[in-house]
Structure 1
Amino acid sequence: MKEDFLHYLWKFKKFDSLNLKTSNLETLTIIHVGQYLELAGPDFFNAQIKIENQKWAGNVEIHLKSSDWYLHQHEKDSGYENVILHVVWENDAAVFRSDNSEIPVLELKDYVDSDTLNNYHSLVAPKSWIYCEKHLSTIDEFTFKNWQERLFFERLETKSKPIFDLLEKTNQDWESVLFCLLAKNFGLNTNGEIFMKIAQSIPFSVIRKESFEVENLEALIFGTAGLLDNEKEDNYFKDLKFRYFYLLHKYQLDKIVVPPVQFFKHRPDNFPTIRLSQLANLYHTHQNLFSKISNLRSLKESYQLFQICAAPYWQNHYQFDKESPKKKKTLSKSFIDLILINTIIPLQFAYAKSLGKEVSEDLMELLTEVSAEKNAIIDKFISFGIKPKNALETQSLLQLKKEYCNNSKCLECVIGIELLKNNN
């Protein structure tokens, strides 16, 4: 048994609360269980109880065993002096305040019915992937859908934090933040962090000024990525290299060293050369891109905005000096979907939050237009009978797995609480 189960029992009064007695056989009445704040100090603040005819207001501390009070050294912490009730599963030791007055104890094991215990033990039984995998599909659709919406916005809150951090570093320049986020997205998992370092290394004011010549943008981005460091016979390579050093001199920029971009294990269409060229062409095609992206409200508009391709040279190249069969390197719809999920919607959420605007419904509506993601985690949920219909649902499932299932937070999860309510 874990302590969070006792927190759940106390918070929702999932025990026989009408006939309570303390360990000293005094009548106990719960008026208010208090606030569960999950902060340092006692577990529940500002509770109200009555012992015999005396009313008490203060805090409640919860442990598996009453001796845990001393194990956690609460007797040395003045923050526990105003504890009015010690709620435990097993009372194995008396606990005293600094004035030697004994803290009343409620031993819960005598007041919890067998169904609640059986449901708990079933929920936390040994798992192969997640605890509730055998019962996940039994949750009613209304409850599950509402929980998914909450999980989606939790995920957006998490994704917005690095956006606000970037905003601080760029002196509140949303265009610069967007450039960094898009660069990371274009780099995918393997090159994402490297692409972001590249974007952060080039002042966005320079990107703005040079966006009218796509070769200059490619030169800046490729040069910063270290892709122009060697010598090649290709005239296109030589031109980009000349432009790069000219631009360094023009803007008095230092040559930045970033980790080498990775080609290994990538499909050719995801080679860093192709993705960086597409990024350069995106900024060549669209000035004031942030304004356009912040106002996107449909999947169709998104596909139209990102109808860009790599430079003509890359139609028959994936690397410098190596010709390949001719192919126009456009952004696929699945790649644009990733940009929507990982960059556009989090950015729209953060921007609206900074302005105090409410865009929740718009974001949910936009994401329901996007196809469900495909990955190993989603495949697992599908095998348990959960079949997401769109990206809003897959994003919520990823949040569920990462933040709740992986951390065994079953009793902070609506699904876990619902399963505890249901009798086996």
Structure 2
Amino acid sequence: MKEDFLYYLWKFQKFDSECLRTSEAEPLQIISTGAQNNLSGPDFFNAHLIISGIKWAGNVEMHLKSSDWYLHNHETDPAYDNVILHVVWEHDENIFRRDRSLIPVFELKNIVDYSMIAKYRHLLESRHNSINCEDSFSELSSFEIDHWFERLYFERLERKSELIFAVLQRSNNDWNRACMILLFRAFGLNINGEYFSNMAENLSYSLVAKLGGNQFSLEALFLGYSNLIHGADQYSKELLTEFEFLKHKFNIPLIDSKPEFFRLRPDNFPTIRLAQLASLYAQRPSFFSGIIAAKDFNEIKFLFITEVSAHWKTHYNFDKSHNSRSKKLSNSFLELLVINFVIPLKFAFSKSSGEPASSLYEIVTSLKAEKNSITRLYNSLRPGTVKNALESQAVLELKKNYCSKCRCLHCELGATLLRNSVKYV
């Protein structure tokens, strides 16, 4: 058993609340359990209690055993001087404040329903194949799941917005520059995302804006900076000549590394993605304003209508040619961009500017769910659980930050399963 379980029991008063008494047999009445503290210091602040008819306001500390008070050296810490109640699973020793006054103890083990304890142990102490609630996940109602998934999705957006604000700070609060860095990262996907974003940080937005309208120059800049230009054909020579000119004119710093091709499908080769970015910024240097103004997926899709230059219609790299084919952005890639770049950017800008971003929910729920091992897992536990992009993003957050970390008591679904096991509430 972990102290998290005690926090849950106390916060939601999941115990027989009739005739509560301290370990000294003093009558106890809980007016307010207080606010949970996730930092250092007592576990709950500003609780309001009545003990033996006397009203108390102060902090509450929790341990599995009351003797843990001394194990954690609280008797010497002034932060614990205002503790008015020590809530424990098992009372094994009287504890005192620094001034040697006795702290009332409230023992839980004999007033918690056995079904809740059994459910807790099954969730957190039994061995499972995938997630702790795998055999009871299907018991949850659609309302409970939908409500929690919506919270999880916006929790995920909040976390992503922190990363965006870090990029914005490095960009001297220039949203256009931050947008470019984040867009390059999104185009690089997992394998080349960091490389692409570092490239965008080193190539200033002002330079890209100056070259706006010139697809050839932007292509030379992006491919040349990435050390990807090679070959004996005329186009390669022209690109390299253009990059050498740009490098000297704008004092562009050089790097030795290259982006990865390994394990990538041809459509995701860095040559193709950089050629597409060159086309996008040639058409629309102020890409950020268009993204913020877009109200639905069709308007966003219009922003990304682009086509690579003639050379890249017949090449995936500089070595071999193929029959001419379109290299427009696919619908599946566009949806990934909307999920991982457009919506988080719009959400972060809304937070920063105070302007509402009311269309985000409609946009994300209009997109198909992502297909991966995690979405397949939750759909196998409860068919139809993950139907759209909001829900697929929610289960990614759920798996990473709750299920994999056994944070069942911090999860609304885990708390619901525990709550449903109790006879009295």
Bin the TM-score by the shorter chain.
over 0.9
1:53 CA drift (Å): 2.4
Is the partner of 1:56 in helix, strand or coil? strand
Mean Cα displacement is larger for which, 197-206 or 168-177?
Answer: 168-177
CA-CA distance at 1:358 after TM superposition: 2.3
Whether the 8 Å contact between 1:119 and 1:422 is mirrored in structure 2 is: no
Answering whether residue 373 of structure 2 is matched by residue 376 of structure 1, we say yes
Query: CA shift at 1:345, angstroms?
Result: 0.3
For 1:250, the equivalent position in structure 2 comes to 249
Equivalents in 1 of 2:76, 2:314: separation in Å?
A: 73
Taking the aligned partners of 1:86 and 1:258, their CA distance within structure 2 comes to 61
**DSSP 3-state at the match of 1:95:** coil
Q: Identity rate of aligned residues, in percent?
A: 47
1:334 aligns with 2:332: yes
Alpha-carbon shift at residue 10 of structure 1 (Å): 0.3
- Aligned partner (choices 371, 382, 385) of residue 385 of structure 1: 382
Alignment of 1:42-121 (within 5 A): 42-121=42-121
SS at 1:322 equivalent? coil
- Post-superposition CA distance 1:258-285 (Å, at most 9, x none): 6421111111111110111111111112
Could you say which residue in structure 2 is the equivalent of 1:234? 233
Q: Structure 1: state its 5+ residue gaps.
A: none
TM-score in terms of structure 1 length: 0.96
Q: Which residue of 1 aligns with 2:301?
A: 303
Corresponding residue SS for 1:323: coil
Which range is displaced more, 309-318 or 79-88?
Answer: 309-318
Aligned to 2:178, what secondary structure does the other structure show? Answer: helix
Cα deviation, 1:176-203, whole Å, max 9, x if unaligned, reads: 1111111111111100100101111101
CA drift of 1:151 comes to 0.8
> What is the match of residue 360 of structure 2?
363
Report the 3-state secondary structure (helix = DSSP H, G, I; strand = E; otherwise coil) of the residue aligned with 2:307: coil
Structure 2: distance between partners of 1:43 and 1:35: 8
Regions of 4+ moved over 6 Å: none
1:348-385: CA deviation from partner (whole Å, max 9, x where unpaired): 001111111222x4101011111110011111111111
1:22–1:105 contact (8 Å) kept in structure 2: yes
Deviations 1:36-85 (A, max 9, x none): 13121000001111221222211000111112112222223210111111
- 1:148 is matched with which residue? 149
**1:135 to partner: Cα distance:** 1.3
- The corresponding residue for 1:267 is 265
Structure 2 CA distance, aligned partners of 1:379 and 1:315?
A: 35
**1:18 is matched with which residue?**
18
| Contact persistence 1:194–1:259 (CA under 8 A) | no
Query: Distance between the aligned counterparts of 2:139 and 2:53, measured in 1?
Result: 45
| Number of equivalent positions | 420
The aligned amino acid for 2:172 is N
AA at the equivalent of 1:121: R
SS at match of 1:241: helix
Structure 2 residues without counterparts, runs of 5 or longer: none
Structure 1 range deviating more: 364-373 or 15-24: 15-24
**Alignment of 1:199 onto 2:200:** yes
Which letter does structure 1 place at the counterpart of 2:270? P
By how many angstroms is 1:122 displaced?
A: 2.8
Deviates more, 1:363-372 or 1:378-387: 378-387
Q: What TM-score comes out, normalization by structure 2 length? A: 0.96
> 1:251: how far off?
1.6
- Paired letter, 1:47: A
Amino acid at match of 1:214: Q
Aligned twin of 1:5: 5
Residue in structure 1 matched with residue 171 of structure 2 by the alignment: 170
Does the 8 Å contact 1:234/1:321 carry over to 2? no
Cα contact 1:194–1:258 (8 A) shared by 2: no
1:285 is matched with 283
State the Cα distance separating 1:170 from its structure 2 match: 1.1
What CA RMSD, in Å, does the superposition of the two structures yield over aligned residues?
A: 1.4
**Alpha-carbon deviation of 1:310?**
2.1
Deviations 1:370-404 (A, max 9, x none): 11100111111111114222101111111111111
Q: Report the alpha carbon displacement of residue 17 of structure 1 after superposing the two structures with TM.
A: 1.9
